[in-house]
Chain A
Amino acid sequence: MTLRWKYSRYFLIVIVAALFAAPILGTNPLSKPGLQQTLAVAFVFGALALTYDLLFGFTGLLSFGHALFFASGLYLTCIFINHSVFVWWIAIIASILLTSLLAFLVGAASLRTTGITFAMVTLAFGEAGHVIVNRNFFGLTGGENGIALNAELIPQIWVGVVNTKYLYWSALICLILTYLIIWWVTESSAGRVFAALRDNEMRVQVLGLNTRNFKLLSFVIAGALAGLLGSMMLLLAGSAAPRFAESNITIALLLMVILGGAVTRWGAVVGGIAYSFLTTRMQDLTQNGLFAGLPKYVSGPLSEPAFLLGIVFILVVMFAPGGLSGAYYKLRLRSISKKYSSSK
């Protein structure tokens, strides 16, 4: 099986190389730990949006419980490390395996339903996860405050502000790894079945394939990768908190994928990075009094990132369903067809 290039190879290599080199190349914005941290978080969300694209865009499963697996990777890794159950890297692998098992169980139950019911059921399971970490059963999850990661038990290159660049590189590697895996999955023969399921489930059934098993496979792959990204997020945030298990995370992922454009892979990644980066920056800007001159009934909603995002989101869904990458391909198609018609 060969992986097909759909975009400019050199462009991608230059961007990735620049992102890798930026923290150590003289003085540029990326040599400051603050921006490195913000971007590292954005990389994790870009990758997470990509795993959500596998579910929603490629397989057509509208899941509202994806945050469950992100949080499961995050919390399990933290618990394993803090209680010295495993060394850090075994802890990460163990948490990914357990998250896959959780995704298998949740998926097996929820996939008995389809379409909109599936969305509601996954939402309920995701929320159950949020409630469980919030309740602090057996003192494991620390309740509302979450648990801080014991920094002495992880490699010291990931600890301290001076070392933020290593976290940045690790997050970038996680993003690339996720991208390669999803690329491979979606271009594999199983990936073809996923797309067929999205487009016409009945026809896949007629071909004699077990549709539920394929959906479950997609669900488990996306869940396992979300678990890995949860572990990465734990290193970045330094603690596991219930906010990572909220259904708001899943809704944010949905926004990232829709705004960036589903089924193009790079659309979800760009959407995720931009969303995460911009919401972080916007909070900084509003705290610095960007809307200070405006009356409160205008500035209040404007200072909530969800307000503008929600409006843009509604407009994109109604008038530009392909999102950013969809618009790009539409433009390119138009320019190609224009060239073709003028040469004739």
Chain B
Amino acid sequence: MSTFLLMTITGIGLGALYFLVASGLTLIYGLMGVLNFAHGAFLSIGAFVGLWFATSIMKEATIPNFILAMIVGGLAAGFFALLMEQLLITRLYDRHIDQVLVTVGVALVVGAVLGGWFGNDLRLFPTPLWFLTGINFFGAIIPADRIIYIATAVGLLIGNWALLRFTRIGLIIRAGVENRNMVNALGINVRRAFSTVFFLGGFAAGIGGVLVSVYSSGVSPLIAGTYLIYGFVVVVIGGMGSVTGSFVAAMLIGVIKQFANYYVTGLGDFVIALLLAGVLLVRPQGLFGKRIS
């Protein structure tokens, strides 16, 4: 029983990391139809800026300092996302394939710059000691860092939900995901909503980057790739444009991967590929997606 609990909770912790990447991807796709390959670059930028802040500005690895580093990393990635959107994406209005290609280019350039500056070896991230302890949860010893991942993901989900539900810009974003042309026709400037979504997506990915570097016990430009791909899988399974769908799919994938890896080492990724194929065969629009007409 305690093994079952441990596997479930660590799986949810992994899913939380996937959700941080996927939430931005799904909103950006839902609103603008852009498949953002640079999302992995946002993750890396968040991780490296977070690392810089945690080592150069904050000398001690305490929990408040860590949370601050997380926010700084998130902001850096968010502003980078905003910059990319303003400089490149908006110029390719409605040229969806070209927008995808440009994000591929940005991903290449950022990867090369970070690789050239810092090398591709893992750099240790200063982790608060508390993260390495275990927490007794109904007899299962849960690594404490998982709690942070889950809390951050849930916090972001609630924040996202509140923003989308209660603010004017959230209303515009929701309406834009539903029918962008109609919102435009009503004389509302959707561009501002685009920028907001890009910033929020970058912010979430940046925070994810800092957490990922704790999870994989170091920072490297190469880590982002895996999470980007899992982000894509989560978005497809959860349904494009649906944040709730992404949350459910991310948790599902995290838990399934954890259990599959527990029984046969290395089986996890394979099972996820099968799950993806299965979902596509039964529900091509994803679990929470709108039916494509």
A interface residues, Cβ below 8 angstroms from B: 62, 109-110, 112-117, 119-121, 123-125, 127-128, 131-132, 135, 137, 247, 251, 254-255, 258, 296-297, 299-307, 309-311, 313-314, 317-318, 321
Measured between C-beta atoms, what is the minimum distance from B99 to chain A in Å? Answer: 9
Q: Is B135 an interface residue (CB 8 A)?
A: no
Interface size on B, residues (CB 8 A): 43
A120 lies within 8 A of B235 (CB) = yes
Measured between C-beta atoms, what is the minimum distance from B142 to chain A in Å? Answer: 27
A121 lies within 8 A of B236 (CB) = yes
A318 to B103, CA, bound (A): 11
10 A-B contacts (beta carbon < 8 Å): A62-B97, A109-B281, A112-B281, A113-B284, A116-B33, A121-B280, A124-B236, A311-B109, A318-B88, A318-B92
A123 lies within 8 A of B116 (CB) = no
Most chain A CB within 10 A, of B100, B108, B113, B269, is at B108
B interface residues, Cβ below 8 angstroms from A: 29, 33-35, 88, 91-92, 96-98, 100-102, 104-109, 111-113, 115-117, 225, 229, 232-233, 235-236, 240, 266, 269-270, 272-273, 276-277, 280-281, 284, 292
- Once A128-B273, A310-B105 are accepted as A-B contacts, the answer to whether A119 and B100 lie under 8 Å apart by CB is yes
Interface of B, helix, strand, loop or mixed by DSSP: helix
B112 lies within 8 A of A310 (CB) = yes
A254 lies within 8 A of B269 (CB) = no
Enumerate chain A residues within 8 angstroms of B35, measured Cβ to Cβ: 116, 119-120
A301 lies within 8 A of B113 (CB) = yes
A314 to B102, CA, bound (A): 5
- Once A119-B35, A124-B229 are accepted as A-B contacts, the answer to whether A110 and B105 lie under 8 Å apart by CB is no
Enumerate chain B residues within 8 angstroms of A254, measured Cβ to Cβ: 101, 104
Enumerate chain A residues within 8 angstroms of B106, measured Cβ to Cβ: 310, 314
Enumerate chain A residues within 8 angstroms of B97, measured Cβ to Cβ: 62
A215 to B88, CA, bound (A): 31
Nearest 7 CB-CB pairs, A to B? A300-B116, A310-B108, A128-B273, A307-B112, A310-B109, A301-B116, A304-B112
